[in-house]
Structure 1
Amino acid sequence: MKTRLGSLLLVLIAVLAPAPMAKADIAPNENLVVDGIPSISASLADSLARYTEFRTATLAGWHPSRREMLILTRFGDTNQAHSVKMPGGDRSQRTFYPDRIQGASYPPRPTGEFFVFAKDTGGNEFSQLYRYDLADGTVTLLTDGKSRNTGATWSQSGRQIAYTSTRRNGKDTDIYLVDPLRPLSDRKLAELTGGGWGVIDWSPDDQKLLVAEYVSINESYLWLLDAATGQKTLITPKGRAEKIAYGRAQFAANGRGIYLTSDRDSEFQRLQYLDLATAKPQVLSGGIPWDIESFELSPDGRLLAFVANEDGIAKLHLLDTATGRERPVPKLPVGLIGTLEWRPGSRELGMTLTAARSPADVFSWNVATGKVDRWTTSETGGLNTATLAEPALVRWKSFDGRSIPGFLYRPPTRFSGKRPLIINIHGGPEAQFRPGFLGRNNYFLDELGAAMIFPNVRGSSGYGKTFLQLDNGFKREDSVKDIGALLDWIATQPDLDPARVMVTGGSYGGYMTLATTTHYNDRIRCALDVVGISNFVTFLEKTESYRRDLRRAEYGDERDPKMREFLLAISPANNAAKITKPLFVVQGQNDPRVPLNESEQMVATVKRGGSPVWYLMAKDEGHGFAKKKNADFQFYATVTFVQNYLLD
């Protein structure tokens, strides 16, 4: 009887006990506005978790007197400044803000009692400069707290910073000087016209500034500016029929010349030495038929480390400035090399390395001993990075016979049959997809079995200045035709499914996404536009004033009647009636580049046509999502969108 009664009680308990609660759906945080996006199950977030927990680390600057450095990495929601005191050492967080730190550096000569960092608010890109005192963590504002302040460059003595600011009228970037230890010393050195000015370097005696005037990706100039009076002197030619673009520039150790990169008399950016007395350039990298994308002169001026962009892959070189000969360099992972910086008073070169199977991490190379040290090892969320897909460089012929390059990532071989494909188009347009770490995108390859291709359509950098100019002005839609040619190429590939194609991109890549959707609506399944341009005229009229003329140089001047008519005709918002496939639009409310209106008008127009539209807007973001919690929700929604509309 006891046994039967006990069994009955167990049954009753089981029946009456509450059922296990299903996991709640993921609610967007208080800063996210969602429209049309269905509920997202918490179980989806669990399955994606490993792909959201990777970190990156980038070199910010060396300590002036000790072998330690500042890096930027994320422990919480955004990248902050951290100290690292030895290779593989602990990352000691210094700044704690809801918004990301955009740069940090010690002064080059004093004892390193403070550093200066830059930060904006909510992604608005109106950066301010601050001093951080290591003794007690005190933070002091150095700029006006309102305008856009960029390009902080230390004097050789470390007593002053030169930077540009829009504080005079919100449009022009004037040059200011400040002693970080005396914030009230801040003064305007020179009033300049235009939004493309930037300080590059100080002369060895701190008497002059090297300043760049950027007009467009194809046209720029270098000037010397007197650090006392602000008087400027042009040092590169102006008025030539063929425009010249200058990239990096730095004074030689003796101050009598300048090392620079330039496409003068060349398709590519070449490393050169410019004698200031004769104004004659000497080419130092003539044997490399690719852009030299960065360089850094050693503290004693005897060695010049530089990086060549060879078909998207970064290659490190080391030049002896006395002999003009190259020295051997270590074998580094195939990928990208960034933020070159020599440790003061040493032969040690710091750098940031990124590869398909490794997120960005900080390394150093002692050129005297040949030793390479790894300073950071960023976490990858438990992913086995050794199995991540590596890209294949592919090419296809476009409408005019021109060869267009791209990087194709294929899913693991366990996925059989023709694979769905995501076309991901870079922004810029004067940019280039480079094969670094894909981060969250690895989920689409490894878990969903989708292939991904990253095209470098005409107008991309890295392939010569002729290729760079092929989409300018009235040739804008020729780059869209390159995507049409890519769709033709996909149909010829035995492992890709032309019936399951999604297109996505951010910024200018967002425009390309929308334009592809209007031109090739019947050849794609769905599209994801992130902070994209939907109407060139409204974009040019409303983008922040300091960058308006710079964008007109690329896209055309909407104030010209013929150009305005053309821009309106090709704008996706004016062709949205052609869109019948599902569209997902992502936008930051504080975006100074592609204003909120661009996404809002596109969403409203497509909605009126009756096509499915998802919309995600973040109130505390700008040109893309920088905060992890926002980026995670965007990722969850994107995976849901892909599952609903791309995959069978």
Structure 2
Amino acid sequence: MKPTLLLPALLACGLFVQAQTAKNVVVPNENLITENIPDIPKTLATEVKKYTESRGASLVDVHPATGEIIIGTRFGTTSQLHQVKQPLGTRTQITFADEPVGGAQFEPTKGEYLVYSKDIGGNEFGQLFKLDLKTLQSTLLTDGGRSQNGGVTWRNDGKGFYFMSTKRNGGDREVYFMDPNNPNAKLVLERKGGGWGINDISEDNQTLIISEYVSANESHLWLLDIASGQISELTDRKKSKGVVQSSASFSHDPNQIWYVTDRDFEFKRLASYNLKTKKTTYHSTDIPWNVEGYRLSEDKKTLAFSTNEAGLDKLYLMDASTKTYKAAANLPVGLIGGLRFTKDGKHLFFTQSTAKTSSDVYRLTVATGSIERWTQSELGEMQESDISLPKAIEWKSFDGLKISGFYYPAAAKFSGKRPVVINIHGGPEGQSQASFLGASNYYTNEMGVAIIAPNVRGSSGFGKSYLAKDNGYLREDSVKDIGALLDWIAQQPELDKDRIMIMGGSYGGYMTLATAFHYADRIRCSVDIVGISHFGTFLKNTEEYRRDLRRVEYGDERDPKMAAFFEKIAPLNNIDKIKKPLFIVQGTNDPRVPVTEATQMRDKLKANGNVVWYLEAKDEGHGFRKKPNADYQRLATIRFMQEYLLK
């Protein structure tokens, strides 16, 4: 063959090989930035798909006239709003955005339209939209810029709503009013700080209950006279340091409000407060667990509340006049949220999930206690036998403190000591509960990997003392709780102490990085998802509306002593101690843990010669919410585990 003919032939052959290779591997979409992640075979994606097609449904709101509901669920790539008119009825999609659509509320008198929230690319600058339910046309109500808008609280007559926004300066969360038919936001109350919110509006539309969140250990309540703009203390701020007072509602008695507080108690109790006598009465003292939330019926005669009891939720119904209550019967053990009464108060809708099922919506009839299922979400091809069920476990930490968590064992078909993934929750005030693993059942059922979800000190749900045990200079005590868990794993005959991977997101990402350098010789690898690599740089770069709130928890980087402590404990400054492979996952638009926390860690690891994989999504924020991105993240994580955990 002539040389002039040989070159085109070789080029054609090369292009053919490239095309064949592309057909056999998963190609990251245009929004994903990848570094050092090897080819992912499409055969793996096919195997995993059995576990990735499940979905859940969560209650959003109940129609004020018809009793039909709006739910959030995903049929495409993102969660959208859907209408359900009867039990197990058709889920009719009513929003079709590229971005996930969050909370929504019906106009409260006729329910002819909704007001919902949506951000762009996970930036959490949620904007409010009006959705006409006849035309399905959405109209932007807020400024569309870099402001957070939410906490919609309607006037009882439907003539507009109050909401919280950071629009004035980006840092202070303040009260505004808007008529959605004439959407010009009017500033009602200026306040300093990002922790303010609206709890309730009085029946005469004259007064708002305003909450002031200081930290997970402290919050206060205020009354706002709307006409005058005057705000007055509802709870005594000077006498309430270190006390939670939140979730307040007006009761049927004009001199009484309901709220949740941990005053004089280790856990948050349901309480009522008399505005005249200034006396608080506690109503759930017999339940030594947190009241997580409650909802009053519109006539304020019935109150439903849920408790978090050792990582499982229970639902109770209370007669608001007599204050007597009883647990709802015939409910499977699981997690409960999204409580909403119908307008007539005869029915209570709620969302529930179990360790065997994703979330779905149910309706309880108050008079009889009967429960009716309204949605039934699919688990894809997963069977009940594919699902790992959690077991509660406990271990003692370095100082004798009892730590607990949930252990999801590998499928029984696997023999020998099993590798372990320790998956650490964020917050740090979060909590790992006995939840459905979803797609992570692939790890337990197909890879033979056990999963442990610990609740280290600082987790919520175990009392206010436990919640505060990692604050400020106590930060690394929570990392030692993971060290104690490594000791516990070594004592379990079915678990392999020499094959352990640490994984966590947000604050759990910090815990992952800290464990990677404190216990480098006891783990195989780590996966850091939107994690903090240096508290000093994190606090300087997190969005302004969050900064002071996070300083209360972590410490103030402007204080020289605390700044020095941050320098000492920063994973970024302990790169030389990280010996095992690390996979970093980040959203470009993350307003909480900025992308710089990930890139500075990646760059320093690379400069030090460490093995580091990197995945960044340009259209995501604090975690991946879009299915194509989440699917690729999962596949890359499995490849990472195959390479560094299982071998």
Q: Which amino acid aligns with 2:258?
A: Y
User: Match for residue 88 of structure 2?
Assistant: 88
Aligned to 2:519: 520
CA drift of 1:205 comes to 1.2
Q: 2:348 maps to which residue?
A: 349
For residue 262 of structure 1, what is the amino acid of its counterpart?
T
What do the CA deviations read for 1:568-613 (whole angstroms, capped 9, x no partner)? 1101000011111010000000000000000000011111221210
Q: What is the Cα deviation at residue 21 of structure 1?
A: 6.0
Aligned to 2:12: none
Name the aligned partner's letter for residue 71 of structure 1: I
1:204 and 1:254 in contact (8 A); partners too:
no
Letter in 2 for 1:231: Q
Change (3 A) 1:317 1:34: same
State the partner residue of 2:115.
116
Tell me if 1:638 matches 2:618: no
- Residues 112 and 242 of structure 1: CA distance in aligned 2, closer, same or farther (over 3 Å): closer
1:216-255 mapped onto 2 (5 Å cutoff): 216-240=215-239, 242-255=241-254
- Give CA deviations for 1:13-58 in whole Å, capped at 9, x if unaligned: xxxxx99967421110000000010011111100000111111110
* 1:12 counterpart residue number: none
Match of 2:548 in 1: 549
State how far apart, in whole Å, the 1-side matches of 2:554 and 2:325 are: 40
Separation in structure 1 between the aligned mates of residue 223 and residue 36 of structure 2, nearest angstrom: 54
8 A Cα contact 1:213 1:220, kept in partner: yes
**Counterpart contact for 2:210–2:222, Cα < 8 Å:** yes
- The Cα shift of 1:522 comes to 0.4
Contact kept, 8 Å, 1:505 with 1:529, in 2: the verdict is yes
TM-aligned CA deviation for residue 241 of structure 1 = 7.0
For 1:76 and 1:527, the matched residues in 2 are separated by 31
Tell me which residue corresponds to 1:49: 49
The answer on whether the counterparts of 1:189 and 1:229 sit within 8 Å (CA) in structure 2 is no
Show the counterpart of 2:4. none
In the other structure, the counterpart of 1:257 is: 256
Note the alpha carbon deviations across 1:130-189, whole angstroms, 9 max, x for none: 1001121221111111111121122222222111111111110111011122213x2010
**2:3 matched residue in structure 1:** none
Q: Which residue does 1:169 correspond to in 2?
A: 169
User: Which amino acid counterpart does residue 237 of structure 2 have in structure 1?
Assistant: K
1:128 positional shift: 0.4
TM-score (norm 1): 0.95
AA matched with 1:646: L
Cα pair 2:388 2:437 within 8 Å, conserved: no
Q: CA deviation at 1:229?
A: 2.8
Could you tell me which runs of 5 or more consecutive residues in structure 2 were left unpaired when the two chains were aligned: 1-15
User: Secondary structure of the residue that 1:515 maps to in structure 2?
Assistant: helix
Specify the code of the residue in structure 2 equivalent to 1:434.
Q
Indicate the RMSD between aligned Cα atoms, in angstroms.
Answer: 1.4
Map of 1:24-423 to 2, 5 A cutoff?
24-108=24-108, 110-146=109-145, 147-184=147-184, 186-240=185-239, 242-385=241-384, 387-423=386-422
Following TM superposition, by how much is the alpha carbon of 1:417 offset from its aligned partner in structure 2, in angstroms? Answer: 1.1
**Per the alignment, do residues 136 and 102 of structure 1 end up closer, same or farther by CA in structure 2, a change over 3 Å counting?**
same
The alpha-carbon deviation at position 328 of structure 1 amounts to 5.0
Percent identity between the two aligned chains: 52
Q: Deviations over 1:85-116 (max 9, x none)?
A: 001000110111111011111022x2111011
Contact 1:223-1:234 at 8 Å conserved across structures:
yes
Take 1:370 and 1:292, find their aligned partners in 2: how far apart are those partners?
A: 21
Shift of 1:82: 0.7
- Whether the aligned pair in 2 keeps the contact of 1:357 and 1:386 (CA below 8 Å) is no
CA deviations 1:211-256 (Å, max 9, x no partner) are: 1000111111001111223211110121127521123221102332
Helix, strand or coil at the partner of 1:433: coil
Per-residue deviation, 1:367: 1.2
Equivalents in 1 of 2:153, 2:302: separation in Å? 21
Write out per-residue CA displacement over residues 513-541 of structure 1, whole angstroms, 9 at most, x where no aligned residue. Answer: 00000100000000000000001100000
SS of the residue 2:175 aligns to: strand
Give yes or no for contact 1:314–1:337 (8 Å, CA) kept in 2: yes
1: CA distance between counterparts of 2:228 and 2:98? 39
Distance change in 2, residues 1:362/1:241 (3 Å): closer
Residue 566 (structure 1) shift? 0.2
Whole-angstrom distance in 2 between the partners of 1:430 and 1:553: 13
Structure 1 residue 413: Cα displacement: 1.2
Q: TM-score, normalised by structure 2?
A: 0.96
Of stretches 428-437 and 520-529 in structure 1, the one that deviates more from structure 2 is 428-437
d(CA) in 1 for partners of 2:389, 2:255: 45
**Structure 1 equivalent of residue 429 of structure 2:** 430
1:548 to partner: Cα distance: 0.2
CA distance in 2, matches of 1:279, 1:156: 27
Please, which moves more after superposition, 637-646 or 146-155?
146-155
For residues 462-521 of structure 1, the C-alpha deviation after alignment (integer angstroms, 9 at most, x for no partner) is 001100110000000000000000001111111111000000000000000000001000
Q: Provide the rounded CA distance (Å) in 2 between the counterparts of 1:498 and 1:162.
A: 54
Measured in 2, the distance between the counterparts of 1:256 and 1:239 equals 23
State the distance in 1 between where 2:620 and 2:299 align: 43
Higher mean alpha-carbon deviation, 230-239 vs 540-549, is at: 230-239
SS of the residue 2:104 aligns to: strand
Corresponding position of 2:7: none
Aligned amino acid, residue 330 of structure 1: A
SS in 1 for 2:550: helix
Shifted more, 400-409 versus 329-338: the winner is 329-338
Give me the whole-angstrom Cα distance separating, in 1, the residues matched to 2:598 and 2:50.
31
Whichever residue aligns with residue 534 of structure 1, its letter is S
1:204–1:253 CA contact under 8 A, matched in 2: no
Deviations 1:418-472 (Å, cap 9, x if unpaired)? 1100000000001111112111111100110110000000000000110011000
Q: Which amino acid aligns with 1:88?
A: L
Number of matched pairs: 629
